Amino acid sequence: MLQIYNTLSKEKQPFTPIVKNKVGLYVCGITVYDLCHMGHARTYLSFDIVLRYLRHLGFEVKYVRNITDVDDKIIQRAQQNNETPGELTQRTITEMHADFAALNLLKPDVEPRVTTHMPEIITVIERLIDKGYAYQSSTGDVLFKVNAYEGYGKLSKQDLSQLVSGIRVQTTSDKHDPLDFILWKGVKEGEISWASPWGEGRPGWHIECSAMNHKHLGEHFDIHGGGSDLIFPHHENEVAQSCCAYDTPYVNTWMHTGMVQINNEKMSKSLDNFFTLRSVLEKHDAETLRFFLMSAHYRSQLSYSQENIDQARASLERFYTSLRDVKANVDVEMSYGGYLAKFEAAMNDDFNMPVAVAVLFDIVKDLNKLDSNSDEAKDTAGALRHLGKILGILENEPEQFLQGDLSQDLTAQIEALIAKRIQARTDKNWASADAIRDELSALGVILEESKTGTTWRKA
């Protein structure tokens, strides 16, 4: 049975959906003022595999991932660029979709935007005011009364007496309590705004998710996810406002991903080690990056380094090399060879991707021992392909992955040189064969010779 570590309880718990065989999954999306970074890639790749595995188990999953398209950073960046917030966000959303498609992320079933959910946001705030959990300050802001909710701090395990800073809102002079957080910001000159019962303004950061997941998943749903940096204050505030607005448990299971480090240091612009997903994809193929991102358990820290990327590439080359000369049986039974049971045992243990990947390595060991033309080899290769697909890998043709996206002319040149080298070896002209190998090496080609012949891959 699937067990998931719940941030709320701080332990692994058996997963049982609220409605049999159906799962509501909400993941906090990106504030679209710039290109996605490696931290985003790690979080959304992790939940992409969660989504794929839940569907593999037979659950009907409704996946909602929001877009924050109005925010202080968006307004500031648009002003710097001399464009409207709408122009900025539309461009960055297009770039985000391109990056996510390259990484082979499945599209969410619903991708709501803050700017298209103002009526829902206003409705939630009205409920909180009517129930005595929110108030309007003299500055025009509407704030949530933290002390009115007894459960505040239960998700992040924070002590209210120790919480005096760290809230991602600007402090106002007439807060009832320093911890109260903004639900609605009164309009400032020159900023984008919407009409509301409290005057022109725009939503605060936290209220948007409560309103959007309530609309698309209901008042009480199964799984809410995001990066661990969102546990406090964002998700803590979500719990407070949603539970108070609707008198429900809100979310059963909270999942959070670990942070990405750069060479074992925190990724930060101030440390000059901040990488966008786009810049990394320009240096490394997308499948290698995807494999790297699943190389550590989703809750642990992940260190981005050239060494770790190279290791990920080498692992995929090993997989694809084993598949190279085998016609995989796509109709093989999923339970073939007992591999599925081991794979599911790993994934059922809080989506333990590294252990699941180890099962794929076991398959490769078995496959490499077999005659590539045998039915057993074809079935084993089929099992490798099936399990790889659940993780979103091994969906390319081996030659395409190993040889890369080279021009037709360069590929023809390489093939011609290999043919010349084979002839030189046949003629026992070792000097010529070695010279051709050096020439191929200069082109970035690695030769692989076996009893069945010579193949090559891109270095």
pLDDT for residue 399 is more than 80: yes
CATH code of the region 3-257: 3.40.50.620
Place 321 in a pLDDT band, splitting at 50, 70 and 90. Answer: very high
pLDDT for residue 445 is more than 80: no
pLDDT for residue 302 is more than 50: yes
> How much is the pLDDT for 166?
46
> How much is the pLDDT for 168?
47
% of the chain at pLDDT higher than 70: 92
CATH code of the region 262-401: 1.20.120.640
Mean pLDDT along residues 325-332? 93
pLDDT for residue 192 is more than 50: yes
Task: Flag whether 209 is marked binding.
Answer: yes
Place 200 in a pLDDT band, splitting at 50, 70 and 90. Answer: very high
* 8 or 440, higher pLDDT: 8
**Could you report the per-residue pLDDT of 73-107, keeping only the tens digit for each?**
999 999 999 999 999 999 999 999 999 999 999 99
Mean pLDDT along residues 294-317? 96
pLDDT for residue 68 is more than 50: yes
Task: Flag whether 56 is marked binding.
Answer: no
> How much is the pLDDT for 451?
61
> How much is the pLDDT for 167?
46
Q: What are the extents of the domains in the chain?
A: 3-257, 262-401, 406-458
> How much is the pLDDT for 219?
96
* 343 or 400, higher pLDDT: 343
Which contacts qualify for 440-444: CB closer than 8 Å, 24 or more apart?
Answer: 440/414, 443/410, 443/413, 443/414, 443/417
Task: Flag whether 265 is marked binding.
Answer: no
Task: Flag whether 238 is marked binding.
Answer: yes
Q: Is the pTM of this model over 0.95?
A: no
Helix axes 306-323, 375-390, angle to 10 degrees: 140
Task: Flag whether 28 is marked binding.
Answer: yes
Furthest-apart CA atoms within the chain: distance in Å: 92
Mean pLDDT, the chain, as a whole number?
91
> How much is the pLDDT for 160?
75
Mean pLDDT along residues 368-373? 94
